[in-house]
Amino acid sequence: MAILSTPLQYLTSTPPVTRAFVAATIATTSLYLWIRWSTGNLDIPWLTLVPGTSLFYPWTFATSALVEVTVIELFVTLAVIPASLRYFERLWGTVETLKFIVACVTVPNLIAFTFNWIEFVATRNADLFLYGMQYHGQMALFISILVAFTQLIPEHQVQILGLFKVRVKTLPMAYLFFSTVMVMIGFQCPYIVIQFGWFVSWIYLRFYKRNTDIGSGTNTYGDRSETFALTSWFPPFLHPPLSALGNAVYKMATRLHLIPTSVPHDIESGYSQLPGGARAEAERRRALALKALDQRLANSATNSPTQNGPSTSQSSRSSPAATAPPPVDRKPSTVEIDGADTASNETEGK
């Protein structure tokens, strides 16, 4: 009974979006494989994304990700995607996980669709670029998950096939390099969606993903930390041109109000959580703590002479000797002022 209850407990503990997405993947892939086995037809345009017919089946921009054309691809997807989405849904919540999936699946497909039509207009080869390519599977979502893990746990080490240990932040670029090689040798479909998925997922996590502070309820958008900048993905010699290009595009997008505000205007008055996980939050809290300490030291340095000044002047007015102090009686007054200065210096040192 315990053996049978373990898968059931795992299924019931899985968040709803992850459970529904995995079930839809299994059902849609099974339907595709059954149709292909029963009819022998490899092209099913109402399930997969074919650039020449997708305008008549617009739902394929999303449902094509639920189709794996081989059993091996399905096993790889079920080994990686469910556990990853389960982790993100517990961390981000149901709504943000669903938005992440939709954005990282549909937008790369739209880009690939547009790119194929541009190639058709340039070459007039409809058989290849409009009807000879069939986009399917979750490669774009897979690279998007790697980008998200790079944002959250970049220094974490994973073991591949029990032989190699690599850091998480190296995996997206390795997968992107594999995609580039496959495209260059002629396998544009479906490997080019890996490149589009990497770029779309970085833009979404950098500028658009909503982060809500549980304590204050403040919403922020994206992750503007330097460790997640576009230049962090490339070698140092490419940083200057990428920085110039990225800054120009960012200024234009901000001017057109295409990017939401990342930080509230009153962020300095509170400790609402910024995106980027504990790393960005720790950096921000340390900066605010240093600023608060500087303000306290400045206030103590300003208030110390003010507090000591009236007591000294009041004692001088109340004492008869203060009207015409003899030369001998000036020494105690000097000592008292020096003591006040010393106390002020000690306060500033603290």
Give the separation between CA 8 and CA 6, rounded to whole angstroms. 5
DSSP category for residue 207: I
Band the pLDDT of 39: cuts 50, 70, 90: confident
Helix, strand, coil share (%) of the chain residues, nearest 5: 70, 5, 25
pLDDT at 283 over 80: no
pLDDT at 4 over 50: no
Burial of 189 (0-12, 13-18, 19+ CB in 10 A): buried
Give the separation between CA 136 and CA 46, rounded to whole angstroms. 12
Give the separation between CA 236 and CA 256, rounded to whole angstroms. 30
**303: helix, coil or strand?**
helix
Q: Which pLDDT score, from 0 to 100, does residue 276 have?
A: 44
pLDDT at 305 over 60: no
Is CATH 1.20.1540.10 what the domain over 2-208 is classified as, yes or no?
yes
Per residue in 239-270, pLDDT tens? 899 889 988 988 898 888 888 865 543 333 33
Burial of 55 (0-12, 13-18, 19+ CB in 10 A): exposed
Contact between 116 and 129 under an 8 Å Cβ cutoff? The reply is: yes
What's the whole-number average pLDDT of the chain? 79
Burial of 96 (0-12, 13-18, 19+ CB in 10 A): middle
Q: Which pLDDT score, from 0 to 100, does residue 59 have?
A: 94
Which stretch of 140-144, 187-191, 310-314 has the lowest confidence by average pLDDT?
Answer: 310-314
Who has greater pLDDT, 183 or 345?
A: 183
**Domain coordinates of the chain in residue numbers?**
2-208
Who has greater pLDDT, 276 or 196?
A: 196
Which stretch of 158-167, 207-216, 226-235, 312-321 has the lowest confidence by average pLDDT?
Answer: 312-321
pTM of whole model > 0.95? Answer: no
Band the pLDDT of 293: cuts 50, 70, 90: confident
**301: helix, coil or strand?**
helix
Instruction: Supply 178's token pair.
Output: 């594999």
DSSP category for residue 21: H
The dihedral built from the CA positions of residue 294, 299, 304 and 306, taken in this order, carries a sign that is positive
pLDDT at 27 over 90: yes
Contact between 128 and 213 under an 8 Å Cβ cutoff? The reply is: no
SS3 string, 93-116, reads CHHHHHHHHHHHHHHHHHHHHHHH
Per residue in 273-282, pLDDT tens? 334 444 555 5
Average pLDDT rounded to a whole number, residues 84-95? 92
Per residue in 56-88, pLDDT tens? 999 999 999 999 999 999 999 999 999 999 999
